[in-house]
Amino acid sequence: MSCVRRLRKRTKSQELVYQEQCKIVAYENGKRIGLEGDPDLQFLLKGGDLLKVKSRSWRKTRFFRLNDDCKTMWQQTSKTFKSDSGFSLEDIDSVRYGRQTEGLRKYTDLSVEDRCFSIIFKSRRKNVDLIASSKEEAKRWVSGLEKVITGMQNLNRQQNTEHWIYNCMRKADKNADNKMSLKELKHFLRQINIEVDDSYAEMLFKKCDRSQSGTLEGSEIKHFYDLLTYRDEIDVIYAKYASTNGQMSSGDLLDFLQYEQREPVSSEYVQKLIEKYEVDEIAKQNKCMSKDGFLMYMNHEEGSIFNPVHKGIYQDMRQPLNHYFISSSHNTYLMEDQLKGPSSTEAYIKALMKSCRCVELDCWDGANGEPVIYHGHTLTSKVLFKDVIKAIKEYAFKTSQYPVILSLENHCSVEQQKIMAHHLTSILGSALLTQPLGYQMPTTFPGPEELKGRFLIKGKRLNKLDATFNNNTTEDEDSVSEEDEAAELKEAEQKPKEKSSNKIKLAKELSDMVIYCKSVHFSTFEHSRDNHNFYEMASFKESKAMNLAENSATAFIHHNMDKLSRIYPAGSRTDSSNYNPVPLWNAGCQIVALNFQTPCKEMELNQGRFLPNGKCGYMLKPEFQRDPASQFDPKNLSVGPWLQKKTLHVMIISAQQLPKINKDKQKSIVDPLVRVEIYGVPADNASKQTHHIENNGFNPTWNTDFQFTVHVPELALVRFVVEDYDAASHNDLVGLYTLPFTSMQNGYRHVPLLTKRGSLIPSAGLFVHIMALDG
């Protein structure tokens, strides 16, 4: 319940006491995120009035403030105050200063530019567009929110757990007396997603109530917290190696890392870990690691299943562009379905901020001579081409510096194509690639490193690329004035009885911008090899590509050693569903375009594929998909460099702080199970799951062993899925995590968990033991 609401029910003296309690709580939470005493944090906690904008006519003043948990925002929704009105800062994707959303640009004037800001959410929740009373106030809201969000994001798993439990305790403390009764303890246990019988709750309560006062307070609450967060599995591991006066010496820790975690590390590395994570100064001086320090280490990136070496750019980024898998989006402008949903610049921003490196623009003639982007022959809304290019320019390189491909599906008249060319050059400027790199006709692609910060246009071209060096203006009959094959096929699917035109005229200004990604028609692999240059690429509908990957995989792989291939979803996927990208990656296809707006298993696999290498949107393909001498076939695994057979042992040990699925029902507790899935070549695809644990989402334990055989680890993805078991219907998703097999660390590891939309669940995770052995 908010402070404002509670104050109405108190006397003046009670109000003063409660206000002091709120200050203390806010100070403690601010301290947890490293902002104790910060003036911007104090500004947010005090709150203030803002003008909320939904349309030209809907503008209403609303009071906003940061709750004292420093995790949630409270907002007034009407003349009456609602205690549950607001949103979590964890749900915020970004805070934008100025008129940086379609809503503010549409419904406000340029004169209020410096007083505007917007809150953008990770989910499909609508943006909150706001106007402050002054420029200074708007900037303070933005900087304050960004500080708190950054502070929360920088918390490690252990700090997140403490933060979360502390705030759950506060919610359970109904009368705000900083004490916990038995009734409040039971309420707290339900809040943290654990159901216990009354006798156990009473036993736990009596064990902690050393003063026998009938309530827990001070050190008793601390004792209760310690009992609650005690992890037997960590104790067992620590005790096995702590052979120096009950602590781990640097030698003990080295043994643990080399034998248990299979890390080839030195004594110097071990000492750095002790310096970094040991919380006890005496232990640190003695070059030892205490149990608390060990838990701290296990909860940081060194103890994660994801190899921290792969967190940044670690691959060779100077290979030809077609040697990489490229994170790619289909019909990027769409926020929802393919038939009647909105088109928006926001969709491009969200995709680019996820390091998507190939976006699609369906271009059509618009009113007043301005080309528009939308899904042709449907009821999807339209967005101006120039607004999309401005958004792409602004957000293309915020999360990755590597090149962005603009895939143009061109349906415009010559006049509006010229307008498109003008917008591309005037908005993108020198970042737009309009000439091949170097001073002579290239024979292969440049690498992502050479193309950093550049935009590449994919589309039709009137002539060969060498015309840029010899002024040849001869039109290429294979591609001149012909629509993108993808466009033809999609139109045929949507209007089967209407014969679509095979030809459009192409403006030279737009044609000349196509350098390394010239769209051509695909006939056969032999035809492409004999007639197409390296920069000439085809787009394949998913069914055609799947058929080639299934029946001509080796030929497809060799085709992709020389050229780029783009795959796109079938037109029948009007709900914006996705196809399985794995078989296409197995066939070496680079641009496997998916509907980024749809949370689904296929997008989770895509997120896992591009998790390493700095999440830059480019992953170097395995050598056997780049070597012309390779005869790799994903279906028929003959002996070759791809065959690096591994036996993968996975023990699912436990989970921590799983979120409640049904938050509306206080007594609803999850019954979690864990499934481990392998995706790769057909021989490697597998799935195994644990039994479910009843009524425990806080600290369920399984200790269940699985074994998998993985033949081609360089193409394999490992997916962990936690579900809430339901005997009567489909299980609900609790959290998941996907990563490449080759990015996994051996040993005892924590697995972070993500929501279905790919956002981190801060305090939740799995604890597992991983061992990948040869043969």
DSSP summary character for residue 658? P
Mean pLDDT value of segment 284-289: 94
User: Tens of pLDDT along 133-173?
Assistant: 999 999 999 999 999 998 888 877 777 777 667 777 777 77
Reported as a pLDDT band with limits 50, 70 and 90, residue 441 is very high
User: Tens of pLDDT along 726-756?
Assistant: 988 899 999 999 999 999 999 999 999 999 9
Residue of 375, 532, 711, 750 marked catalytic: 375
Determine how many CB atoms are found less than 10 A away from the CB of residue 557: 24
Residue whose structure tokens are 């309009």:
434
The pTM score is 0.87
User: Tens of pLDDT along 319-336?
Assistant: 999 999 999 999 999 999
DSSP summary character for residue 507? -
Rg from Cα positions in the chain = 29
CA 413 to CA 533: how far, in whole Å? 28
Determine how many CB atoms are found less than 10 A away from the CB of residue 423: 19
Annotation marks residue 411 as catalytic: no
Q: What is the pLDDT of residue 2?
A: 34
**Residues 535, 541, 545, 548: what is their CA dihedral angle, to the nearest 10 degrees?**
-100
Reported as a pLDDT band with limits 50, 70 and 90, residue 1 is very low
Mean pLDDT value of segment 278-289: 92
* Chain-centroid distance, C-alpha 583: 22
Determine how many CB atoms are found less than 10 A away from the CB of residue 524: 11
User: Tens of pLDDT along 171-202?
Assistant: 777 777 778 888 888 887 777 767 666 777 78
Calculate ∠ Cα 57-62-65, nearest 5°.
150
CA 390 to CA 404: how far, in whole Å? 14
Kindly tell me if the per-residue pLDDT of 481 is higher than 50: no
Kindly tell me if the per-residue pLDDT of 32 is higher than 90: no
Identify any residues that bridge with 565 across adjacent strands, giving them in sequence order: 538
Residue of 330, 711, 750, 769 marked catalytic: 330
Reported as a pLDDT band with limits 50, 70 and 90, residue 428 is very high
Which tokens sit at 422?
């003008």
Mean pLDDT value of segment 600-619: 97
Kindly tell me if the per-residue pLDDT of 341 is higher than 80: yes
Q: What is the pLDDT of residue 677?
A: 98
Annotation marks residue 330 as catalytic: yes
Please, are residues 305 and 745 in contact by the beta-carbon 8 Å criterion? yes
